[in-house]
Amino acid sequence: MKITFLVDNNTTIDQYYLAEPALSVLVEDGKSRILLDTGYSDAFLVNAQKLGIDLCELDWLVLSHGHFDHTWGLPPLIRHYTEERIRGRKVTPPTILAHPVALEDKISPELGGIGSFFNKETLERFFPVELSREPKWLTERILYLGEIPEQLPFEKAKLKNKRPTGDGTQIPDDLIDDTSLALMTDKGLVLLTGCAHRGVCSTLARAMELTGEKRVVDVLGGFHLLDASKKRLSETVRFLKKAGVTKMSPCHCVDQAAKCALASEFPLREIGSGSSIEWE
């Protein structure tokens, strides 16, 4: 099994790929290919081309949640598929899998709309779309976690954004659409997160519950530890240590203070656009 970070906030030394405050990750398991998120722009496409990766051959496109830094790469991907068809290539688009709330609007008091450009009906003009709160095995070794249950108390954050309801009113956006992928390797569980708005510890607990796997090989992706309190950081480290995590690979929405707190207990892998990791 192999994952490749097509775009992240950073690049690593002497790796001349594009970076942006966003995330897109390709997961390859045998012949199965799953794209987690599309970043903010076409940067993930540009980097994929530099890496020699063909994104016209995908089985699934999983949206970890509906924020713009994970979904606004969809229009460039649609254009890419259209242009390939114009050139005479047969393109079979992947099935988009997401929580039902992921394609609803999200409203920031400062920025306005920060959600997906597409609702389900519009997106279905370009892709098969499957919306699910329930977990789903995408391959024998890759699990879409679906809706993450109630968060651990120390991971709850203030809700500043809104989302609309069916009657036109707005409610606080609790980011119930946030989800992740669990990857099963020979050595144990690998958790791949988008932003882990529901909490990286809560998400890991759900992955361990659903898979029954107690060995945690690695936790990769965004943990949404930005300006986190010392208490939250210490509780996060304590939980992950108790869970038996052996390695951490934080990126995207993890600040330096959080990385230092994690590095005090775990070996950290440096991640950036173009980084690849493989497991048996």
pLDDT tens column, 96-132: 999 999 999 999 999 999 999 999 999 999 999 999 9
What pLDDT was estimated at residue 150? 82
pTM score? 0.96
Percent with pLDDT over 90 in the chain: 94
φ, ψ at 19 (rounded to 5°): -130, 150
Q: Name the token pair of 98.
A: 């997401």
Instruction: Give the pLDDT of residue 151.
Output: 80
Architecture of domain 2-278 in this structure: 4-Layer Sandwich (3.60)
Q: What is the pLDDT of residue 119?
A: 94
Two structure tokens written together for 100: 């039902």
Q: Where are the alpha helices (DSSP H) in 149-255?
A: 200-211, 230-242
- Mean pLDDT for 24-44 is 98
> How high is the pLDDT of residue 198?
95
Average pLDDT in the chain = 96
Q: Which two tokens stand for residue 143?
A: 């699990």
Which one has a higher pLDDT value, 198 or 157?
A: 198
Residue ranges per structural domain of the chain: 2-278
Q: Give the three-class secondary structure for 181.
A: strand
Placement of tokens 């959600």 in the chain: 115
Query: Does residue 223 contact residue 196 with C-beta atoms inside 8 Å?
Result: yes
Alpha helices in the chain (DSSP H): 43-50, 68-71, 74-86, 120-123, 200-211, 230-242, 256-263
CA distances from 215 to 185, 204, 211, 245 (A): 10, 11, 11, 8
pLDDT tens column, 48-94: 999 999 999 999 999 999 999 999 999 999 999 999 999 999 999 99
pLDDT in tens, 264-279: 999 999 999 999 999 9
Alpha carbon of residue 193 to chain centroid: 5
Name residue 97's beta-bridge partners: 62, 130
Antiparallel, parallel or unpaired: β 248-251 and 216-222: parallel
62: phi then psi, degrees, rounded to nearest 5: -95, 130
Tell me the mean pLDDT in the region 11-34: 96
Residue with tokens 């903010």: 40
Q: Which residues contact 139 (CB under 8 A, 6 or more apart)?
A: 29, 30, 32, 34
